[in-house]
């Protein structure tokens, strides 16, 4: 917890581990834009195949659900002392206004409380101004949800990740 | 209105929604009941190790199931996508991890007001008595949206 902000290398690693290995996140073009302890900023670019209403070109609510769910999960990972398998228990989303066609989506999520078993998260989805949200969400995640690790870590990726983590630790110490 | 019994092709409406098509959602319509089907595909995975469906995909599927049910029951006279109800709020309970196989969905309208409808939806895989997720949400009916 002595390292509130992540280095660009760490964010690059998260992009790789948290997005590249999540097929659906990759399929809709999700990207980790920024991160700090317990908080994540993710984006999804506007794309024709994400449209929910073909007459207006407005993005489907489900895309916002996917983005917020994923961003909440990452915020939880960023709040934990070490990586563990997590599972969404519930997610409540309020849609405040339709997304504007042609504009990309951003999400900012914050894991504000972690207990022994449960992590609590809230977040918003917006275009450019977080104070003018498209949607807001609150969610809870179960910790240590499965025995399996959540991400397939190849030997090379794991070694690389450990190197970056060790470097960050040294830097923070 | 006298033709109210004319079958309304919800599947065609769903296929007009790019994101529903992207996820691979179809509607199986039997008489006055519909079941939505989320056809499994690799790009729906959220956790490749388990492997498990992405939570957002399950949420999107339940939302689409609710919208399909609303369209089926209330928009029968107007098959245009412009008349699709808009989600106001959706709460999803994740009950089991979604395995890499087809998922089915059913929704039930618990209350229909003039402007807002309340819908419950559930998703299951090989056993309907063991749902992988349930959701309830409020939807703004488009006829009331002009205000």
Cα–Cα distance, B98 to B86 (Å, whole number): 26
List of chain B residues whose C-beta atoms are within 8 Å of the C-beta of residue A60: 17-20, 60, 64
Give the pLDDT mean for A136-145: 91
Taken in order of first residue, the domains within chain B and their CATH numbers are: 10-144 (3.10.129.10)
CATH for A8-172, among 1.10.3720.10, 3.10.129.10, 3.30.43.10, 3.50.50.60? Answer: 3.10.129.10
Q: Is the pLDDT of residue A34 over 60?
A: yes
pLDDT for residue B2: 46
Q: Is the ipTM of this complex over 0.90?
A: no
**A42, two tokens:** 């993710």
In angstroms, how far is CA A55 from the centroid of its own chain? 30
Q: Is the pLDDT of residue A159 over 90?
A: no
Cα–Cα distance, B118 to B89 (Å, whole number): 10
pLDDT band at A128 (very low <50, low <70, confident <90, very high): very high
Neighbours of A152 (CB within 10 A): 13
**B94, two tokens:** 């994740």
- Residues B103/B121, Cβ–Cβ less than 8 Å: no
Lowest mean pLDDT among A128-142, B29-43, B79-93: B79-93
Give residue ranges of A with CB < 8 Å to any B CB.
21-27, 48-56, 59-63, 65-70, 73, 87-95, 98, 146, 148-152
**Concatenated DSSP letters of A63-109:** HHHHHHHHHHHHHHHHHSSS---EEEEEEEEEE-SPPPTT--EEEEE
Give the largest Cα separation in chain B, rounded: 54
* Average pLDDT in chain B: 88
* Average pLDDT in chain A: 83
- The residue among B26 and A20 whose pLDDT is bigger is B26
- Residues A81/A143, Cβ–Cβ less than 8 Å: no
Q: Is the pLDDT of residue A66 over 90?
A: yes
List of chain B residues whose C-beta atoms are within 8 Å of the C-beta of residue A150: 47, 49-50
Cα–Cα distance, A53 to A57 (Å, whole number): 6
For A24, the closest of B49, B56, B84 (CB atoms) is: B56
Q: Is the pLDDT of residue B95 over 90?
A: yes
Instruction: Say yes or no for a CB contact (<8 Å) between B64 and A62.
Output: yes
pTM: 0.83
pLDDT for residue A141: 93
For A49, the closest of B19, B45, B60 (CB atoms) is: B19
pLDDT for residue A58: 92
């Amino acid at each position: 917890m002595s390292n509130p902000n992540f280095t660009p290398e760490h964010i690059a690693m998260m992009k790789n581990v948290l997005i590249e290995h999540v097929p659906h996140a990759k399929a809709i073009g999700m990207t980790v834009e920024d991160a700090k302890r317990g908080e994540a900023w993710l984006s999804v670019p506007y794309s024709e195949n994400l449209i929910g209403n073909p007459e207006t070109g407005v993005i489907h609510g489900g895309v916002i659900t996917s983005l917020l769910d994923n961003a909440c999960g990452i915020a939880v990972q960023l709040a934990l002392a070490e990586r563990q398998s997590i599972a969404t228990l519930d997610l409540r989303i309020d849609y405040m206004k339709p997304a504007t066609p042609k504009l990309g989506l951003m999400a900012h999520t914050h894991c504000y409380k972690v207990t022994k078993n449960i992590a609590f998260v809230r977040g918003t989805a917006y275009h450019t101004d977080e104070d003018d949200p498209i949607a807001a969400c609150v969610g809870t995640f179960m910790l240590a949800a499965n025995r399996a690790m959540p991400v397939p870590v190849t030997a090379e990726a794991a070694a690389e990740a450990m190197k970056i983590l060790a470097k960050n630790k040294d830097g923070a110490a | 209105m006298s033709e109210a019994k004319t079958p309304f092709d919800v599947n065609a409406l769903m296929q007009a929604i790019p994101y529903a098509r992207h996820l691979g959602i179809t509607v199986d319509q039997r008489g006055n009941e519909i079941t939505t089907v989320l056809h499994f595909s690799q790009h729906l995975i959220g956790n490749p190790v388990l492997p498990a469906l992405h939570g957002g995909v399950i949420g999107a599927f339940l939302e689409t199931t609710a919208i399909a049910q609303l369209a089926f029951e209330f928009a029968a006279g107007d098959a245009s996508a412009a008349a699709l109800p808009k989600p106001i709020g959706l709460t999803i309970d994740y009950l089991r991890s979604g395995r890499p196989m087809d998922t089915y969905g059913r929704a039930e309208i618990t209350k229909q007001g003039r402007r807002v409808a309340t819908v419950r939806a559930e998703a299951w895989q090989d056993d309907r008595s063991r749902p992988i997720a349930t959701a309830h949400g409020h939807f703004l009916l488009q006829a009331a949206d002009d205000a």
